[in-house]
Amino acid sequence: MAAWHALIRGHGGMMRKLEAELQAAHGLSLAAYEVLAHVSEAPDRRLRMSDLTTCSQLSPSGLTRLVDKLVRDGLVERVRCAADARVVYAALTERGLEQLEAAYPTHLRGVRAHAIDRWDRDERDTVACALGKLADLPPH
Amino acid sequence: MAAWHALIRGHGGMMRKLEAELQAAHGLSLAAYEVLAHVSEAPDRRLRMSDLTTCSQLSPSGLTRLVDKLVRDGLVERVRCAADARVVYAALTERGLEQLEAAYPTHLRGVRAHAIDRWDRDERDTVACALGKLADLPPH
DNA sequence: GCCCATCATTTGCAACTGCAAGTGTCTGCG
DNA sequence: CGCAGACACTTGCAGTTGCAAATGATGGGC
């Protein structure tokens, strides 16, 4: 139970700090950053909405609205799929790529400072393994 | 970095499941449950708003509104402090205590099923220790 | 070729949150 | 005493989120 409380508090505190830093330095929420990051890693730097839903922490509707915002901000474009008119790709724009590359060091530094650097190798491995066991895919 | 991703995903998935179960079985959000639990553990089963803010994951305004809701639902009462008129206690009502006692087994079972039981003793200890290191108190 | 179940995504809506500003209270210093 | 500044909490407001329903599209069975 102590482990559970530590998980709640630790996670919460870390997330708030990361979020605040990213917001202050680049005007990006953590959710937005993660979407940009996922998209940038995909082939052609574009990803279907449904794939984004799977790898993000958002429900489909939440993702739709976040992408709306990213489109408004010019970081992403919606591209209809030629083969299947139901699907929409979120595609990184030039500006989106620049923004992501600018934010990346901030984020990496934050994750290190607030999490990874506080653990030794053994803790890192155990956390990765233990937390990995919680992740049977969620029904949003 | 793998550890970090596992943390995000694992935590998110677990929380969604706990939240859904608690909601379905007792109509309580996880945040509400945690507030009730903290209050119930305090002397006289009442706690100052500011102390609740400290131990919960909520901002002061968020907490005010959550307590509003708990008061509406009859689970908690606001009690002004005689010694300092600025201070308000959230005090558990009889009904609040019953509700909490009803929800407790569900929650405990959930935490076990979705987290603790998936770890061996060593993982539990390491998670508690490692996550505990992330928790320098957050500026909400 | 037509329909129906299914799928990918979006929208209406209501709930939850945090920030900044507001209210009322206390406290210490002149 | 009286008041400036700190404190405990609440409110106005705007942004984010999820659920359920709507929209538009596909594809298999007949």
Q: Let me know if residue A68 belongs to a domain.
A: yes
Question: In terms of CA atoms, which chain A residue is nearest residue B2?
Answer: A128
Q: What is the CATH number of the domain that holds B44?
A: 1.10.10.10
Question: In terms of CA atoms, which chain B residue is nearest residue A30?
Answer: B8
CA distance B59 to B67: 12
With distances taken from each CA to the C1' atom of nucleotide D26, the closest residue turns out to be: A84
Q: Let me know if residue B72 belongs to a domain.
A: yes
- Judged by phi (left if over 0) then psi (alpha if -120 to 50, else beta), residue A86 lies in alpha
**Structural domain boundaries enclosing B56:** 2-125
Q: Let me know if residue A103 belongs to a domain.
A: yes
Cβ contact B50 with chain C strand, < 7 A: no
Task: Please name the member of B7, B123, B125 whose beta carbon is closest to the beta carbon of A11.
Answer: B7
> What is the nearest CA distance from B85 to chain A, expressed in angstroms?
30
Residue–nucleotide distance: A112 CA to C17 C1' (Å):
27
pLDDT interval class at A135 (50, 70, 90): confident
CA distance A104 to A124: 21
With residue A76 as reference, give the H or E element that holds it: strand A76-80
Identity at B69, one-letter amino acid code: K
Q: Let me know if residue A127 belongs to a domain.
A: no
Q: Let me know if residue B140 belongs to a domain.
A: no
CA distance B34 to B54: 12
Tell whether the model's pLDDT for residue A66 goes beyond 70: yes
Cβ contact A78 with chain C strand, < 7 A: yes
Cβ burial A22-45 (10 Å sphere, 16+ → b, else e)? beeebebebbbbbbbebbbebeeb
Half-sphere exposure of A140 (CA within 13 A, CB side): 13
Tell whether the model's pLDDT for residue A80 goes beyond 80: yes
Got the DSSP string for B17-50? Answer: HHHHHHHHHHS--HHHHHHHHHHHHSGGGEEEHH
| B131·A11 Cβ contact <8 A | yes
pLDDT tens readout for residues B73-99:
999 999 999 999 999 999 999 999 999
Q: Let me know if residue A136 belongs to a domain.
A: no
pLDDT tens readout for residues B97-138:
999 999 999 999 999 999 999 999 999 999 999 999 987 754
Structural domain tally of chain B? 1
Q: Let me know if residue B91 belongs to a domain.
A: yes
CA distance B131 to B140: 18
Question: In terms of CA atoms, which chain A residue is nearest residue B110?
Answer: A4
Q: Let me know if residue B137 belongs to a domain.
A: no
